[in-house]
Amino acid sequence: MTAGLRHSLAVRVTAMFVLIVALAAAGLGTYLYRAFVAEIERRDDIGLLGKLRQVQILLGRPGAAELLHTRPDFFRDTMSGQENSLVRFIAPDGAVLADINAGGERYPVPPAAAIAPDRAAIAGWTSRRGDPGRVVAGIARLGTGTVTVVVARVYGERSAMFARYRQRIAGAAAVGALAAALLAALLLHRGLRPLRVLAGHAASIRPGTLAQRLDAGDAPSELLPLIEALNAMLARLQEGYARLSGFSADLAHEFRTPVANLLGQSQVMLAQPRGAAEYEGLIASNIEELERLARMIESMLFLARAGQDEVLPARQALQALDEMTKVADFFEGMAEERGLRIECAGSAVVLADPALLRRALANLVSNAVRHADAGTTIALQADQRAGSTVLSVENTGVPIAPEHLPHLFDRFYRVDTARGNADGSTGLGLSIVGAIMALHGGTAAVQAEGTRARFTLDFPAARPESARHAAH
């Protein structure tokens, strides 16, 4: 059997079905055979007892003693005249008065039962040819005395009949198993048709047709969970494929502009002799652009690793105000250059990876410093709530239109596309914030009302024992 057939579901089910049918047919055939044999043996025993009773009646008639001596075969003929019928008459002293036994069979003489013995008095024996025989003995009146009458019979034809019956049962079981195999194969082929349709539909789905879903309309109920699981998998594949395609397109777009700038500036600079100061300015400009590209590549690598669950946050209970103050101190100089103030308030314990938490806060504060109006205040707030710790960064600046809010955490998404990357942003800062919150099992969100924009980080609450350690 080839590997394909060995692993075929249809072949396995058909083989099991055939085995079950064969065992059932064999069991039923055995039962019917034994019932048939028992019934035939019962009827033969009753017939043998009837013959014994018939001989006993004949011996009781007048002249039976003379008939026994002159025509002993008469008694055998009374047993349907069959040659396989044996009769023996034994006197009370053990002398054999007559023995009708043409074949010279040797059979046992069971104890003589009453005048009307039952089946329990019948004994079995085997003829010289190996055929089964039955024998019974009874008391009969003969004249003024009694004799023992022994009646035996060989059932050679019965053994042949039983053999033919067994062959027919075996043949019927084999035909039944073969018919069951054909029927099972036909039913399986028809029953597995929905699976073939499903496989064909799944095979037709290509990267460009991931929006298609497997049709569950005519599918049997047993396949509905599988179809639902496959459709859910297709939805995830479609989402991932679309995200990857968009990411590739955004990546090409974001890299094309700085690379073109580097090439253009270098080509213009080399088009004619320049002074040392001009070359230094070009190199400084290129270094600035390369640094931005390096930050973008580092951010992309982080997002790729976070998306593949390769970043494992080392969570620990932290005082949120301390972490916010460290970030605020880092951006204090940049804020002062733009006439901004950074204030931190609130008291809460946050369960987070310290480095990732500072990176998320730094991205939000950096974003606020770039977009806040001069002379305003950037507020960092920590709130302990039931089941979570919420950190927020709020600033006043250019209003954000509502249609932009759902996309602010998307990669390379910019509200003001005209500004491009002139402010040094890679367009990945808020995406990294979202990825960090996903790693912590939390969420990042943004709310805007007028000129006020508020970014919130919602961390799952720290355990009580962790909060106590953080407080110390």
Residue 256 has pLDDT above 90, yes or no: no
Separation CA 254–CA 421 (nearest Å): 9
* Average pLDDT for 80-90: 73
Looking at domain 9-161, its CATH class is alpha beta
Residue 444 has pLDDT above 90, yes or no: yes
Residue 419 has pLDDT above 70, yes or no: no
* Average pLDDT for 204-209: 84
177-191 tens-digit pLDDT = 888 888 888 888 888
pLDDT at residue 425 in the model: 67
For residue 145, the surrounding DSSP H or E stretch is strand 145-154
103-132 tens-digit pLDDT = 788 899 888 876 678 888 899 999 888 889
Q: How confident is the model at residue 416 (pLDDT cuts 50, 70, 90)?
A: low
pLDDT at residue 383 in the model: 93
Which range among 116-125, 275-284, 305-314 shows the weakest confidence by mean pLDDT? 305-314
Separation CA 155–CA 84 (nearest Å): 8
* Average pLDDT for 119-148: 89
Predicted TM-score of the model (pTM): 0.51
Say how many C-beta atoms besides its own lie within 10 A of residue 185's C-beta: 16
As given in the structure block, the two tokens for residue 340 are: 């901004």
pLDDT at residue 83 in the model: 59
Residue 157 has pLDDT above 90, yes or no: no
Residue 393 has pLDDT above 90, yes or no: yes
pLDDT at residue 377 in the model: 94
9-161 against 313-460: fold identical: no
Separation CA 407–CA 341 (nearest Å): 28
pLDDT at residue 363 in the model: 92
Q: How confident is the model at residue 323 (pLDDT cuts 50, 70, 90)?
A: very high
pLDDT at residue 251 in the model: 74
Q: Best-predicted range by mean pLDDT among 45-54, 104-113, 323-332?
A: 323-332
* Average pLDDT for 206-222: 83
Helices (H), 63-213: 64-70, 73-77, 156-191, 193-203
Decide if domain 313-460 falls under CATH 3.30.565.10: yes
As given in the structure block, the two tokens for residue 356 are: 């990732």
More confident residue, 119 or 254: 119
* Average pLDDT for 338-349: 93
Q: Where are the domains of the chain?
A: 9-161, 205-311, 313-460
Q: How confident is the model at residue 422 (pLDDT cuts 50, 70, 90)?
A: low
Q: Best-predicted range by mean pLDDT among 54-58, 194-198, 431-435?
A: 431-435
What values do phi and psi take at 408, rounded to 5? -65, -25
Mean pLDDT of the chain: 84
Residue 79 has pLDDT above 60, yes or no: no
Q: What is the dihedral of CA 401, 406, 411, 416, to 10 degrees?
A: 0
